[in-house]
């Protein structure tokens, strides 16, 4: 899996031949293995405590449940690396689900057309968030919090009085079982990782998140780039919504609630900084698997949903504290 941890200083300078590039790669390698080791340890704990947890079906269930949220979290990773924040992706998820449901159940459009409409809707909402933020200078937290509420209302209005269910078999195949969602998840992660590490726009995300002023002075169009990152976050939220609607065979505006928090939690647990300039999608996938392993493991131990949420909340706080503690001085 392509993954990279960078900051603004690595975007506009060439590593020297004295071994500094090797040190960077070594640091990245160790970070990935630390998160992976945590996942394995958590899995082994539940493997030991619960006999039903040891089945192959449980392992596949963890991957299957993580797949949809991991796709959404890939977009959140890009936004956070660039120094942004998008709290509206759960509501974008809900709007896209309803729009695709209407296109299929009410207008009976071809599956490809319905999917494209959903992706365009996600891109438009993400771009709107980015445009408002960069041109008004209102903090991303406030802009996307407003988007969270507004988009949720739009989803409820669009879904009112409609029966959004019983979609074509060809559409249901997208989210059926575990294999297809997992393959789509890994494909999205691979493409997003390549975008971050192999394209100029992707590299600029690290530069902007690391030091926006240095990036601007180096010729980066910060405003335009930020809009693209929010747009990508919207597209991936839409992709996740389409898969879930396909899997459930119905759409409703309540879907997507708190998904933005799960996405941010997975990203931070995976090691992407809330302050920008550092992170990668490979670790985000591991972070999401950690969360799903804990949720499924606690369920097998008879722990209720409320206690599961408390446990995830504590993990988020610890992960953020670790991010603050290791943050370099600027």
Provide φ and ψ at 122, rounded to 5°. Answer: -65, -45
Separation CA 213–CA 166 (nearest Å): 51
Residue 2 within any structural domain of the chain: no
On whether the CB atoms of residues 263 and 92 are closer than 8 A, the answer is: no
pLDDT at 3: 47
- The whole domain housing 71 covers 32-324
pLDDT at 33: 83
pLDDT at 90: 96
| pLDDT tens for the 330 residues of the chain, in order | 444 444 443 433 333 334 444 554 555 667 778 889 999 999 999 999 999 999 999 999 899 889 999 999 999 999 999 999 999 999 999 999 999 999 999 999 999 999 999 999 999 999 999 999 999 999 999 999 999 999 999 999 999 989 899 899 999 999 888 889 999 999 999 999 999 999 999 999 999 999 999 999 999 999 999 999 999 999 999 999 999 999 999 999 999 988 998 999 899 888 898 889 989 999 899 999 999 999 999 999 999 988 988 988 888 788 788 777 766 654
Handedness of CA 150, 156, 157, 158 (dihedral sign): positive
pLDDT at 29: 65
pLDDT at 25: 52
pLDDT at 198: 94
Residue 50 within any structural domain of the chain: yes
What is the number of domains present in the chain?
Answer: 1
Residue 43 within any structural domain of the chain: yes
DSSP state of 274: T
Residue 7 within any structural domain of the chain: no
Beta bridge partners, 165, equal: 250
Burial class of 187 by CB neighbour count within 10 A (0 to 12, 13 to 18, 19+): exposed
Residue 312 within any structural domain of the chain: yes
Separation CA 265–CA 95 (nearest Å): 22
What the block records as the tokens of 125 is: 């909402």
pLDDT at 308: 87
Residue 98 within any structural domain of the chain: yes
Q: Please, what is the Cα angle at 153 between 150 and 159, to 5 degrees?
A: 145
CA torsion angle 81 87 92 94 (round to 10): 130
Residue 163 within any structural domain of the chain: yes
Identify the CATH number of the domain in which residue 132 sits: 1.10.3470
């Amino acid at each position: 899996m392509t993954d990279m941890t960078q900051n603004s200083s690595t975007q506009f300078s060439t590593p020297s031949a004295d071994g500094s590039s090797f040190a960077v790669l070594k640091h990245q390698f160790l970070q990935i293995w630390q998160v992976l080791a945590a996942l394995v340890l958590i899995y082994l704990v539940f493997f030991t405590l619960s006999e039903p947890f040891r089945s192959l079906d449980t392992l596949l269930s963890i991957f299957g449940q993580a797949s949809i949220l991991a796709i959404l979290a890939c977009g959140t990773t890009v936004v956070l690396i660039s120094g942004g924040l998008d709290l509206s992706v759960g509501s974008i998820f809900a709007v896209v689900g309803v729009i695709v449901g209407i296109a299929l159940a009410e207008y009976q459009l071809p599956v490809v057309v319905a999917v494209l409409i959903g992706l365009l809707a996600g891109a438009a909402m993400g771009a709107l968030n980015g445009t408002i933020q960069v041109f008004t200078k209102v903090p991303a937290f406030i802009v996307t919090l407003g988007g969270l509420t507004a988009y949720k209302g739009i989803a409820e209005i669009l879904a009112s009085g409609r029966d959004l269910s019983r979609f074509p078999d060809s559409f249901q195949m997208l989210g059926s079982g575990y294999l297809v969602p997992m393959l789509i998840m890994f494909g999205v992660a691979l493409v997003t990782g390549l975008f971050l590490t192999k394209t100029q726009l992707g590299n600029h995300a690290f530069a902007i998140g690391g030091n926006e002023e240095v990036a601007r002075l180096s010729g980066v169009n910060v405003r335009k780039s930020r809009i693209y990152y929010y747009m990508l976050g919207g597209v991936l939220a839409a992709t996740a919504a389409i898969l879930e609607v396909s899997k459930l065979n119905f759409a409703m505006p309540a879907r997507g609630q708190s998904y933005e928090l799960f996405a941010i939690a997975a990203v931070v647990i995976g090691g992407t900084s809330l302050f920008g300039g550092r992170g990668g999608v490979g670790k985000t996938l591991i972070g999401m698997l950690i969360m799903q392993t804990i949720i499924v493991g606690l369920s097998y131990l008879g722990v209720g949903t409320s206690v599961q949420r408390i446990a995830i909340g504590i993990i988020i706080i610890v992960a953020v504290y670790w991010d603050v503690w290791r943050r370099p001085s600027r």
